[in-house]
């Protein structure tokens, strides 16, 4: 029963209204010895000149035998009546009404002396006599019924609170009795609930978006984990609403690119990935609706593949991750789509400079709803109109499409089916055609086995491929590589076991990698080369227990066991011992048939989280954990390209094992709605692969020969200051992060920089982001971003010499130099709708934005070109000028 | 992949490429030592300083006054003589099956050693053969030129399994007439080109047959083939270390130019300071067996040999001797236009290998 419907039962209690004065500000003290309740109440009525209304049969044969004392009559009466299942509400200063057997979920209103009406909700069964009870439930958006992650439920009186998880669930333990709760979520109106907690029970809360009334700004700080409920840290939640007015390149609202604004995450323009706390691009796992996604970029990395109209939120774990997650050593990003559980259809459309998108969601039947969206580019039009043959000969397009069906099978179970595809197709001026595509499909079953036990079960499929087709009269070459993953996952949450919350589950992934199929035809040869395919199974079991040791201390212990097996058919190559791996040191090979285990690895991955609550506004958190990575991204080009090659662990490529820890302090200043956080992190990776000097990875059938193995370490601090509300809101974050690798070996060829520690490709020491929104009027706001990152390391030709007439560039040690620092300012002027009405059907927003306002020529990459006998360093800037754009978004409610 | 960059630039219509040169503190004490001993020639060693910019080879700063000692594994020792500034040469040829290394005592008392390398026998070149190829080459954005060329291929007799690693250098001698001798009354000159600029390396599989096939070079129809060109292929057996070194140089020559290339890397050789192994000494002292073979090519070998073949060639034979068409100003011809003997490495004596 919804809160609104519950309110209707209030009328039950209005028939007993009488107005009389009441004695107040007195000390009330009564001792009753075996007195009938009726008489006791009468005595109090006379003594205090009040009237108490109730049905006589409620107190028949009830006797009390105790001493009661209180500063106010209501508490006195409540204490007297509690054991008989009655409680009292004040209707006016001298009128009290007794109420009996409040049902779970019953809502009543109480009129205070100041005329304020307080809603009271009963939770649990009045017959159960307990001192403490658990209150749990979900927090929703009142309009579209979508769960609100990161909403807080807080008791000011007890200084105790909880926050909702990704599904909008919360849970907290409180003493039985009356409590005033404040429910808050970013971008929503605050709700105040008074509850009468009798025993454990649930309360679902619906919040009204504050965006409609435009009385608050939208960007209110993305760090939604406010530290109230759990030990998890190194985590950020981005809600798509929070990006509504963040200035973006060409007006494309982009949930992944906006992660740049978070501390510890770095991603540049035209980069197919992002680095988290000094980790590599291939060390990040991206889930879209629990399905792994291998390339999140369109247009070689200028935009992400996610249609912002269908995305609901994004959670990123930047360090030790919950036991549920594994498989990567740096981070996990979990992207959730809306589930369309609206009562009405809603939609939005946006027209941008190079692409347009549409998204809609709503009910098909009472039980079935849909969310769908699509985006398509149209920059071919520009290319065709430019009077240059190179450009005219170019073709390019991309699209993506999402569809998600959500079916409420029963009150306790739901089924959702999700499909996603993205496709990029480019023909370069000289006829080289590059395509790449993701295809994802998944089915998710959510079952509420009981109030305490929830289960999620997933079947997912993900495929990614890329191709290059080049043809001229000399030769034709076609190259294709791909990766696909089938996964089955199950997850159970046991919510109310005293102070424990237990999560357990399993996952199993079948990963198939096709590293490359090359068709080559030229005057010398015609050949089709298939680099051997690989397949492997990666499985895991996990369990975690979040245990609330006391009001101040919460610990979360997790354990994950992961196992990986590289399966046949395949070959294992054996090389001369103590020699570098190369074709000339190959001495033997073992052949494995289909399904045979070529190599297996496995191990435990403990996870530990600890929170100590110093006071209501100050928490200290600590975490420590291990994770293993069995799938490795093979890329050593100066920038990541869409033609990514993945490689499974094998006998010559061990899994990466990362141990990491973080410690943080989280401070809230409630009055000013300011949050501050500080985290120190450290990560050490064993068996980290890197590439030999000059390694060639593309179309290499023995790619493991190009690798060396060593260790990596990363450490740093993150500092964030955010102001969530007010005329000016936003946040400032600073990250200091170092990342080093050490590749040492007995074999000289397998050493890098003589075995000494060197900066990794992602060593970006300083990173600053300042982002915010300033309300100019109630309709207009000015948003801004300013980003600064230290230049990342490169290897640079320091000097030259001749050998046998050949000019040789002598490069520095690996990563000894740095490309120039990156910084950029973006501004956006936003018109937030045309009126202030809450219940309007259409909502139109418009943004005028300028990306890279001062036209900084930031280096996308530095590369080297041979010009005659010279080698010249070149700095490529993708966005070297200010890019203005206008975006119009129309939302149907 | 350079084209992807171009493509991205078009799309954003705001991108740009600029020269990037970070501040570099050049180690002025750094040393480059390059040298070789083969079974055909005595040891030659060159000592120089690396430079920051891109200068001609002749302008490299040589290091004179060093003591260069050559050792073999039989206990023999030879001191090389400085024959000109920074160039040191020995007398004794290398012997197959022996290990050689050098010890360089620099004027500043630093001592650099090379690691010992085995002189592996070089298998003979079975044959050199040519294949016709034709392809289109872009000439600007619109037009394409049809190019006919020859692929120079090699078959090797790998009758000795001692070496798996090889380097080939392609040089040769071509014939030409004096530019101003339009009626070709004088006999032609024979000009020898150094083999240094054309090298390639190869690695044979341990389990392969005894014949290794290698595509060495694409020969375009330039002016050096108009009156005959005797192409000479030198085949060197390499040690594993030397192969790694030359392979990286070869990769550096071919890979440079794209953001999607593997990042360039430092090339280390087989030299190190005696006092501090961590200081890099640049270069390599090679120890190789050598075999040579020639093949004669003239204009009739090409399917199409243009009348003015130098229009395709950077090796512009006569064009520099005459003012461009329509040129009205003063024009000074190079001195060799009047006498082809003035060209470097030129002779009028017909080489013995030249066909009749």
**ipTM exceeding 0.90, yes/no:** no
User: pLDDT by residue (tens digit) across B303-330?
Assistant: 877 666 544 443 456 777 877 777 777 8
Contact call for B134 and A881, based on CB within 8 A: no
Position B10 scores a pLDDT of 56
Position A210 scores a pLDDT of 59
% of chain A residues with pLDDT over 90: 28
The answer, yes or no, to whether residue A525 has pLDDT greater than 70, is no
Q: What is the mean pLDDT of residues A20-39?
A: 68
**Among the three residues A104, A136, A151, which one is the final residue of a domain in this structure?**
A104
| DSSP single-letter state for residue B33 | E
Q: Report the gap between the CA of B95 and the closest CA in chain A (Å).
A: 22
What kind and span of H or E run contains A45? helix A37-48
The answer, for B315 touching chain A at a CB cutoff of 8 Å, is no
Contact call for B57 and A802, based on CB within 8 A: yes
**Among the three residues A104, A121, A146, which one is the final residue of a domain in this structure?**
A104
For chain A, the average pLDDT equals 81
Does A109 map to a domain? no
Dist. CA B203–CA B216, nearest whole Å: 13
Confidence of residue A744 (pLDDT cuts 50, 70, 90): very high
Position B159 scores a pLDDT of 61
The answer, yes or no, to whether residue B339 has pLDDT greater than 50, is yes
Q: What is the mean pLDDT of residues B171-183?
A: 86
Q: Which residue has the higher pLDDT, B166 or A104?
A: B166
Whose CA is closest to B286, among B205, B110, B165? B165
The answer, yes or no, to whether residue A372 has pLDDT greater than 60, is yes
| Residue A886 preceded by cis peptide, ω within 30 | no
Does A695 map to a domain? yes
Q: Which residue among B19, B135, B251 sits closest to A872, beta carbon to beta carbon?
A: B19
**Among the three residues A57, A76, A104, which one is the final residue of a domain in this structure?**
A104
List, as ranges, residues 475-534 from A with C-beta within 8 Å of B.
523-524
Q: What is the mean pLDDT of residues A58-62?
A: 80
Q: Report the gap between the CA of B306 and the closest CA in chain A (Å).
A: 20
Hey, what long-range contacts does A385-392 have (CB within 8 A, 24 or more apart)? A386/B10, A388/B141, A389/A429, A389/B141, A389/B142, A390/A429, A390/A430, A390/B6, A390/B141, A391/A429, A391/B10
Residues of B in contact with A853 (CB under 8 A): none
Q: What is the mean pLDDT of residues A287-305?
A: 86
Q: Which residue has the higher pLDDT, B75 or B262?
A: B75
Q: What is the mean pLDDT of residues A438-453?
A: 91
- In terms of CA atoms, which chain B residue is nearest residue A381? B11
Does residue A607 share a domain with residue A461?
Answer: yes
What is the helix, strand, coil percentage profile of chain B, to 5? Answer: 15, 40, 45
Dist. CA B138–CA B127, nearest whole Å: 33
Longest dimension (CA), chain A: 116
Least confident stretch, A9-13, A36-40, B101-105, B110-114: A9-13
Number of domains in chain A: 2
Position A740 scores a pLDDT of 96
Which CA distances in Å does B63 have to B25, B45, B103, B209?
20, 11, 15, 46
Q: What is the CATH number of the domain that holds A783?
A: 2.40.170.20
Least confident stretch, A550-564, B23-37, B106-120: B23-37
C-alpha atoms less than 13 angstroms from C-alpha of A821 in its C-beta half-sphere: 10
Confidence of residue A786 (pLDDT cuts 50, 70, 90): very high
Confidence of residue B281 (pLDDT cuts 50, 70, 90): confident
The answer, for A807 touching chain B at a CB cutoff of 8 Å, is yes
Q: Which residue among A524, A697, A873 sits closest to B21, beta carbon to beta carbon?
A: A873
Chain center to CA of A83: 46
Confidence of residue A833 (pLDDT cuts 50, 70, 90): low
Position A222 scores a pLDDT of 36
The answer, yes or no, to whether residue A193 has pLDDT greater than 50, is yes
Position A537 scores a pLDDT of 97
Does A522 map to a domain? yes
Does A709 map to a domain? yes
The answer, for A694 touching chain B at a CB cutoff of 8 Å, is yes
Position A91 scores a pLDDT of 78
Residues of A in contact with B255 (CB under 8 A): 694
What kind and span of H or E run contains A457? strand A453-471
Q: Report the gap between the CA of A760 and the closest CA in chain B (Å).
A: 13
- In terms of CA atoms, which chain B residue is nearest residue A861? B259
Dist. CA A45–CA A589, nearest whole Å: 97
Residues of B in contact with A864 (CB under 8 A): 256-257, 264
The answer, yes or no, to whether residue A11 has pLDDT greater than 60, is no
Least confident stretch, A637-646, A872-881, B239-248, B336-345: A637-646
Q: Which residue among A434, A861, A870 sits closest to B54, beta carbon to beta carbon?
A: A870
Least confident stretch, A1-5, A475-479, A539-543, B73-77: A1-5
C-alpha atoms less than 13 angstroms from C-alpha of A285 in its C-beta half-sphere: 26
The answer, for A732 touching chain B at a CB cutoff of 8 Å, is no
Position A14 scores a pLDDT of 27
For chain B, the average pLDDT equals 80
DSSP A459-506: EEEEEEEEEEEEE-SS-EEEEEEEEEEEEEEEEEEEEEETTEEEEEEE
Burial class (CB in 10 A: 0-12, 13-18, 19+), A774: middle
Place of tokens 């435990």: A604
Provide the 3-class DSSP secondary structure of residue B8: helix
Whose CA is closest to A348, among A845, A10, A772? A845
Answer left, alpha or beta for residue A855, where phi above 0 means left and psi between -120 and 50 means alpha.
left
Q: Which candidate in A694, A754, A816 is best for mutational testing of the B interface (most B CBs within 10 A)?
A: A694
The answer, yes or no, to whether residue B209 has pLDDT greater than 50, is no
Least confident stretch, A494-503, B88-97, B193-202: B193-202
Dist. CA B166–CA A556, nearest whole Å: 61
Q: Which residue among B51, B256, B261 sits closest to A800, beta carbon to beta carbon?
A: B51
Contact call for A388 and B57, based on CB within 8 A: no
Least confident stretch, A516-525, A608-617, A629-638, A884-893: A516-525
Position A541 scores a pLDDT of 97
Q: Report the gap between the CA of A849 and the closest CA in chain B (Å).
A: 16
What's the N-to-C CA distance of chain A in angstroms? Answer: 24
The answer, yes or no, to whether residue B22 has pLDDT greater than 80, is no
User: pLDDT by residue (tens digit) across A575-630?
Assistant: 888 887 876 677 888 999 999 999 999 999 999 999 998 987 889 999 999 999 99
Least confident stretch, A107-116, A692-701, A743-752: A107-116
Least confident stretch, A293-302, A694-703, A745-754: A694-703
Position A867 scores a pLDDT of 67
Chain center to CA of A800: 48
Contact call for B266 and A883, based on CB within 8 A: no
Position A323 scores a pLDDT of 94
User: pLDDT by residue (tens digit) across A224-282?
Assistant: 333 334 567 778 887 776 666 677 776 677 777 778 888 898 886 656 688 899 998 88
Domain positions in chain B: 2-10+27-120+241-288, 125-240+292-323+332-347
Whose CA is closest to A396, among A381, A415, A418, A413? A381
Q: What is the mean pLDDT of residues B172-199?
A: 83
Contact call for B261 and A877, based on CB within 8 A: no
Q: Which residue has the higher pLDDT, A85 or A79?
A: A79
% of chain B residues with pLDDT over 70: 79
List, as ranges, residues 747-786 from A with C-beta within 8 Å of B.
749, 754
**A535 contacts A511 by C-beta, under 8 angstroms:** yes
Provide the 3-class DSSP secondary structure of residue B250: helix
Least confident stretch, A174-188, A325-339, A672-686, B40-54: A174-188
Q: Report the gap between the CA of B129 and the closest CA in chain A (Å).
A: 13
Residues of B in contact with A473 (CB under 8 A): 134-136
**A79 contacts A65 by C-beta, under 8 angstroms:** no
Contact call for A796 and B22, based on CB within 8 A: yes
Least confident stretch, A182-196, A328-342, A781-795, B288-302: A182-196
Which CA distances in Å does A215 have to A142, A674, B210?
18, 18, 84
The answer, yes or no, to whether residue A125 has pLDDT greater than 80, is no
Contact call for A877 and B32, based on CB within 8 A: no
Provide the 3-class DSSP secondary structure of residue B132: strand
Query: Structural domain of residue A5, as residue ranges?
Result: 1-104
Confidence of residue A888 (pLDDT cuts 50, 70, 90): confident
**A119 contacts A7 by C-beta, under 8 angstroms:** yes
The answer, yes or no, to whether residue A1 has pLDDT greater than 50, is no
Confidence of residue B144 (pLDDT cuts 50, 70, 90): low
Most confident among A18-32, A298-312, B251-265 (mean pLDDT): A298-312
The answer, for A739 touching chain B at a CB cutoff of 8 Å, is no
Does A678 map to a domain? yes
Position A656 scores a pLDDT of 96
Does A4 map to a domain? yes
Q: Which residue has the higher pLDDT, A568 or B105?
A: B105
Q: Which residue among B6, B11, B52 sits closest to A429, beta carbon to beta carbon?
A: B6
% of chain B residues with pLDDT over 90: 33
**A59 contacts A40 by C-beta, under 8 angstroms:** no
Does A147 map to a domain? no
The answer, yes or no, to whether residue A637 has pLDDT greater than 80, is no
The answer, yes or no, to whether residue A98 has pLDDT greater than 70, is yes
Q: What is the CATH number of the domain that holds A97?
A: 3.55.50.30
């Amino acid at each position: 029963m919804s809160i609104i419907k519950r309110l209707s039962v209030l009328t039950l209690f209005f028939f007993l209204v009488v107005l009389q004065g009441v004695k107040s500000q007195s000390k009330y003290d009564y001792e009753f010895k075996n007195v009938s309740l009726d008489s006791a109440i009468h005595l109090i009525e006379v003594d205090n000149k009040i009237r108490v209304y109730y049905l006589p049969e409620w107190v028949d044969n009830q006797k009390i035998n105790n001493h009661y004392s209180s500063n106010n009559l209501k508490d006195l009466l409540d204490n007297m009546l509690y054991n008989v299942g009655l409680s009292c509400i004040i209707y006016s200063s001298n009128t009290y009404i007794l109420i009996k057997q409040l049902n779970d979920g019953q809502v009543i209103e109480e009129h205070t002396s100041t005329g304020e009406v307080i809603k009271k909700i009963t939770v649990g069964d009045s017959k159960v006599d307990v001192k403490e009870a658990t209150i749990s439930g979900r927090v929703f958006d009142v309009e579209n019924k979508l769960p609100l992650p990161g909403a807080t439920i807080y008791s000011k009186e007890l200084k105790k609170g909880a926050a909702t998880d990704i599904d909008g669930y919360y849970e907290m333990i409180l003493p039985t009795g009356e409590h005033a709760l404040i429910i808050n979520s970013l971008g929503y109106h605050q709700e105040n609930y008074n509850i009468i907690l009798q025993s454990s029970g649930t309360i679902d809360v619906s919040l009204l978006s504050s965006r409609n009334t435009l009385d608050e700004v939208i960007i209110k700080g993305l760090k939604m984990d406010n530290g109230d409920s759990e030990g998890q840290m190194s985590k950020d939640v981005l809600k798509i609403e929070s990006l509504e007015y963040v200035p973006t390149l060409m007006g494309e609202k982009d949930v992944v690119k906006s992660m740049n604004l978070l501390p510890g995450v770095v991603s540049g323009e035209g980069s197919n990935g992002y680095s988290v706390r000094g980790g590599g691009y291939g060390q990040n796992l991206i889930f879209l609706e629990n399905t792994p996604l291998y390339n999140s970029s369109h247009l070689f990395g200028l935009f992400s593949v996610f249609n912002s109209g269908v995305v609901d939120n994004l959670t990123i774990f930047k360090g030790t991750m919950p036991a549920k997650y594994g498989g990567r050593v740096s981070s996990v990003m979990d992207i959730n789509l809306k589930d369309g559980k609206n009562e009405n259809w809603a939609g939005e459309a946006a027209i941008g400079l190079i692409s347009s998108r549409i998204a809609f969601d709503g009910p098909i039947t009472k039980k079935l709803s849909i969310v769908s969206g699509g985006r398509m580019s149209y920059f071919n039009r520009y290319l065709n109109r430019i009077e240059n043959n190179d450009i005219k000969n170019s073709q390019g397009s991309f699209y993506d499409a999402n569809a998600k069906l959500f079916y409420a099978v029963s009150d306790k179970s739901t089924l959702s089916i999700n499909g996603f595809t993205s496709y990029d197709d480019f023909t370069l001026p000289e006829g080289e055609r590059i395509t790449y595509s993701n295809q994802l499909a998944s089915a998710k079953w959510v079952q509420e086995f009981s109030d305490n036990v929830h289960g999620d079960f997933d079947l997912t499929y993900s495929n990614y491929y890329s191709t290059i087709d080049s043809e001229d009269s000399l030769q034709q070459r076609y190259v294709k590589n791909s990766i696909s993953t089938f996964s089955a996952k199950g997850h159970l949450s046991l919510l109310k076991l005293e102070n424990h919350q237990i999560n357990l589950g399993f996952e199993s992934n079948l990963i198939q990698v096709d590293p490359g199929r090359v068709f080559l035809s030229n005057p010398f040869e015609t050949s089709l080369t298939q680099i051997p395919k690989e397949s492997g199974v990666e499985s895991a079991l996990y369990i975690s227990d979040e245990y609330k040791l006391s009001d101040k201390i919460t610990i979360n212990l997790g354990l994950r066991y992961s196992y990986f097996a590289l399966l046949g058919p395949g070959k294992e190559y054996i090389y001369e011992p103590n020699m570098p791996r190369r074709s000339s040191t190959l001495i033997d090979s073992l052949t494995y048939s289909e399904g045979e285990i070529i190599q297996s690895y496995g191990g435990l991955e403990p996870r530990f989280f600890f929170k100590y609550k110093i006071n209501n506004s100050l928490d200290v958190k600590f975490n420590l954990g291990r994770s293993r990575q069995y799938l490795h991204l093979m890329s050593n080009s100066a920038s990541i390209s869409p033609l990514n090659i993945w490689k499974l662990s094998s006998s010559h490529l061990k899994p990466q094992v990362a141990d990491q820890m973080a410690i943080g302090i989280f401070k809230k200043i409630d009055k000013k709605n300011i949050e501050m956080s500080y985290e120190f992190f450290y990560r050490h990776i064993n068996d980290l692969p890197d590439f030999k000097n000059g390694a060639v990875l593309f179309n290499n059938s023995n790619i493991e020969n190009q690798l060396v193995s060593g260790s990596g370490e990363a450490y740093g601090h993150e500092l964030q200051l955010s102001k969530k509300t007010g005329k000016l809101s936003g946040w400032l974050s600073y990250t200091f992060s170092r990342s080093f690798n050490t590749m040492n070996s007995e074999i000289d060829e397998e050493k890098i920089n003589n075995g000494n520690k060197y900066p990794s490709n992602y060593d970006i020491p300083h990173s600053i982001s300042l982002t915010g929104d300033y309300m100019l009027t109630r309709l207009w706001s000015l948003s801004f971003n300013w980003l600064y990152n230290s230049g990342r390391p490169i290897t640079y030709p320091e000097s030259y010499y001749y050998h046998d007439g050949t000019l040789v560039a002598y490069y520095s040690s690996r990563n000894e130099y740095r490309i120039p620092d990156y910084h950029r300012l973006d501004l956006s002027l936003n018109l937030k709708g045309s009126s202030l009405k809450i219940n309007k059907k259409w909502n139109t927003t418009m943004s005028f934005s300028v990306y890279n306002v001062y036209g900084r020529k930031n280096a996308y990459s530095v590369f080297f070109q041979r010009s005659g006998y010279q080698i010249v360093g070149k700095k490529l800037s993708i966005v070297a000028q200010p890019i203005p754009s206008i975006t119009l978004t129309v939302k149907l409610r | 992949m350079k084209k992807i960059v171009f493509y991205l630039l078009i799309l954003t219509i705001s991108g740009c490429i600029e020269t990037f040169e970070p501040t570099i503190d050049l180690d002025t004490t750094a040393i480059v030592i390059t040298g070789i001993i083969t079974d055909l020639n005595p040891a030659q060693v060159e000592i120089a300083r690396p430079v920051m910019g891109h200068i001609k080879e002749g302008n490299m700063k040589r290091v004179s006054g060093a003591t260069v000692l050559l050792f073999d594994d039989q206990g023999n020792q030879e001191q090389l003589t400085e024959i000109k500034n920074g160039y040191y040469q020995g007398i004794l040829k290398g012997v197959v099956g022996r290990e050689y290394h050098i010890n360089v005592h620099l004027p500043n008392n630093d001592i650099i050693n090379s690691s010992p390398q085995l002189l592996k026998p070089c298998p003979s070149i079975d044959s050199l053969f040519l294949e016709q190829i034709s392809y289109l080459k872009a000439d600007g954005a619109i037009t394409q030129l049809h190019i006919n060329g020859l692929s120079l291929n090699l078959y090797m007799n790998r009758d000795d399994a001692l070496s798996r690693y090889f380097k080939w250098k392609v040089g040769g001698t071509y014939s030409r007439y004096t530019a101003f001798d339009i009626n070709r009354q004088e006999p032609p000159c024979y000009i020898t080109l150094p083999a240094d600029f054309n090298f390639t390396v190869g690695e044979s599989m341990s389990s392969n047959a005894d014949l290794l096939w290698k595509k060495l070079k694409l020969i375009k129809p330039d002016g050096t083939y108009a009156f005959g060109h005797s192409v000479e292929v030198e085949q060197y057996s390499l040690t594993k270390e030397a192969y790694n070194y030359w392979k990286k140089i070869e990769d550096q020559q071919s890979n440079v130019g794209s953001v999607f290339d593997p990042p360039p890397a430092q090339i280390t050789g087989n030299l190190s300071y005696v006092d501090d192994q961590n200081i890099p000494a640049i270069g390599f002292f090679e120890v190789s067996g050598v075999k040579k073979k020639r093949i004669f090519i003239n204009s009739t070998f090409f399917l199409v040999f243009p009348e003015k073949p130098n229009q395709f060639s950077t090796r512009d034979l006569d064009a520099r001797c005459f003012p461009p068409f329509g040129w009205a100003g003063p024009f000074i011809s190079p001195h060799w236009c009047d006498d082809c003997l003035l060209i470097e490495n030129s002779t009028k004596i017909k080489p013995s290998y030249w066909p009749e």
